Amino acid sequence: MLKADLHIHTEYSTDCDIPVEKIIARCTRVGINCVAIADHGTIEGALRMQEIAPFPVVVAEEILTPHGEIMGVFLRHGIPSGWSVRETIARIKNQDALVCLPHPFDTIGGSGSINGNWKNWQWRLISSKRSTPEARS
């Protein structure tokens, strides 16, 4: 059976200091056998983990736009921050990757403020229990 965590940050991200080796060890201990590494502004942590993990590693990235964060999942190349929402989505789709809204209810720097109303965009995936108002309280 597949047990996956589809939103993990590594030491390659600006908001985490956990080495990929420790993440692999923890996943192995708790039975997680697939992960998506979604560091902020880089895919380097995901690429490094793919080299050494004994389980599948999905390459993802949280990309900062002027209106909040968008996550690309199944990326082949990193996407620079700073592009518009529309351009960021286009760059993700050009890689045949999934467009994800990682924090839809976070209105302070997260995805909830995207273009004033994220519900108007066509999303393929909205993720993270942590994103819900109930999980934050």
Q: How is residue 46 written in tokens?
A: 């995901």
Q: How is residue 94 written in tokens?
A: 């050009």
- Cα gap 21→24, rounded to integer Å: 5
Rounded to an integer, the average pLDDT of 77-83 is: 96
> Average pLDDT of the chain?
83
What percentage of the chain has pLDDT greater than the value 70?
75
What pLDDT shows up at residue 105? 65
What pLDDT shows up at residue 106? 65
> Residue 54: is its pLDDT beyond 90?
yes
What pLDDT shows up at residue 77? 98
Supply the range of the domain harboring residue 86: 4-136
What percentage of the chain has pLDDT greater than the value 90?
64
Residue 93 confidence class, pLDDT cut points 50, 70, 90: very high
Strand partners, 68: 65
- Cα gap 48→43, rounded to integer Å: 9
- The neighbour count for residue 11, using CB atoms within 10 Å, is 16
46 touches 23 (CB < 8 A): no
CATH number at residue 97: 3.20.20.140
- Cα gap 34→53, rounded to integer Å: 9
Write a three-state SS string for 59-109. EEEEEEECCEEEEEECCCCCCCCCCCHHHHHHHHHCCCCEEEECCCCCCCC
What is the pTM assigned to this prediction?
Answer: 0.81
What pLDDT shows up at residue 102? 81
Q: What's the domain count of the chain?
A: 1
- The neighbour count for residue 3, using CB atoms within 10 Å, is 12
Contacts of 87 (CB under 8 A, 6+ apart): none
